[in-house]
Structure 1
Amino acid sequence: MTPTVLIVDDHQLFRAGVRAELGDRVEVVGEADGVEQAVAAIAELTPDVVLLDVHMPGGGGVEVIRRSAPRQPGVRFLALSVSDAPDDVIAVIRAGARGYVTKTISADELVDAVRRVADGDAVFSPRLAGFVLDAFSTGSGPVAPPRIAADDASGDLDQLTAREREVLRHIARGYLYKEVALRLGISSKTVEAHVSAVLRKLQLSNRHELSRWAVERRLLDGD
């Protein structure tokens, strides 16, 4: 089913550009240029996904979520911002957003992100997932996670092939299967097979647990 989307941004030209990029692959049911208009539109239209800017007059995306989410629990929020500052990302995720992508994202990636959020997944631009997991694993702001003993991490990694380690690091950074495939010169099916093998060997259930596992062991540091 095609997800319905409300675009919230205080720049009309940007809203028009997003609408054009999304095309008919999602159903854009409305637009809003500020907090008050967004809250009213969400209540009236109850879209599947609200695609919203983080910085707007009147409290920005965080205020939109805080005022709307309790009244429309079925609506999901995806932040779309020029900012990749940790404080911005953490604030909007803590408010209740299901994802955060930057405005450098391609049209195809944005459509995919909207669909995944509509389906209940959590979506982040590459390189943002690490410090989001970092912050939420500690229950505070973006601070360093506890270091796991080096021999513990290396022992687990010894179970993995060199290619599986490469795939693990890319997935832990938030890249999609197709993005990992392009970077490593392999097929998406092969990436999926490697991820399955990694999850099995590390006794993890999904890619989110995998990302947390990598962050807690600081496997992304210096990459």
Structure 2
Amino acid sequence: MTEQRTIRVVLVDDHHMFRTGVRAELSSLDGPTGQHLEIVGEAGTVETATAVITAEQPDVVLLDVHLPGGNGHGGSDVIRACMGVQSRSGLPVRFLALSVSDAAEDVIAVIRTGARGYVTKTISAEDLRTAIVRVADGDAVFSPRLAGFVLDAFGAAAGEVAEIDEELDRLSAREREVMRLIARGYQYKEVAKELFISVKTVETHVSSVLRKLQLSSRHELTAWAMGRRLL
């Protein structure tokens, strides 16, 4: 008998009726796949979303890109505010954008900030459920025509791939290990425990990585790593 796995989900959209509909659709789709989706919270603004995500520690957040509140950047503000939050399974909370917009600037902005995927509200309930499961498993998911925006933005051209390799070559093997863990949302103490090094050494490596990659924060580092499929 297949063991049932529960994926905890938070719905973030400023339209209450839309959240109600998504909740009903997803709840009706539980079947014999061994994957149960549990909606553990809802929110309609940047501030309430940040509070619910921090409190509930879900596996996946279904996130609209246009939300009131915050600094005026909608879903991107939520991702930035919750970048270090881990799910109750110990993995970083993962974000799947679900929006009516299919504009390239919206897709690129939220992916650069750290979302694992982007689907439009024309998606079927079955496909949305599959997308949530895939994101929970660490995959990247996009509606078909949106994938091209992401490839263009993050350098699918050979010349840009070479540039990415050059950037990685600046890092030592240990710095790459630290970079990946920090980008996944690990705290310094957790990185130190994982790699059997001191917290001070972790801090030194992070400073070196940020300097070599010309980044200013761990949030930028996470977006950099996700854009290069390094997580």
- Aligned-pair CA distance for 1:146: 6.5
What corresponds to 1:177 in structure 2? Answer: none
Is 1:70 matched with 2:81?
no
Structure 1 moving runs of 4+ over 6 Å: none
- Aligned-pair CA distance for 1:70: 2.3
Mapping of residues 124-139 of structure 1, within 5 Å: 124-137=142-155
The AA in structure 1 aligned to 2:155 is S
CA contact (8 A) 2:65 2:106 kept: yes
What corresponds to 2:52 in structure 1? Answer: 41
- Aligned-pair CA distance for 1:71: 3.4
Is 1:17 matched with 2:28?
no
TM-score normalized by the length of structure 2: 0.59
CA contact (8 A) 2:10 2:61 kept: yes
**Alignment partner for residue 128 of structure 2, among 101, 106, 110?**
110
Q: Which runs of 5+ in 1 are unaligned?
A: 139-144, 148-211, 213-223
The AA in structure 1 aligned to 2:64 is D
The AA in structure 2 aligned to 1:22 is L
2-structure distance, mates of 1:71, 1:49: 11
TM-score normalized by the length of structure 1: 0.61
2-structure distance, mates of 1:65, 1:120: 16
What corresponds to 1:28 in structure 2? Answer: 39
Secondary structure, counterpart of 1:31 in structure 2? strand
2-structure distance, mates of 1:33, 1:57: 8
- Aligned-pair CA distance for 1:57: 1.1
Aligned length: 142
1-structure distance, mates of 2:55, 2:115: 20
The AA in structure 1 aligned to 2:121 is K
What corresponds to 2:162 in structure 1? Answer: none
2-structure distance, mates of 1:105, 1:81: 10
What corresponds to 2:116 in structure 1? Answer: 98
The AA in structure 2 aligned to 1:136 is F
Alignment identity in percent?
A: 67
What corresponds to 1:52 in structure 2? Answer: 63
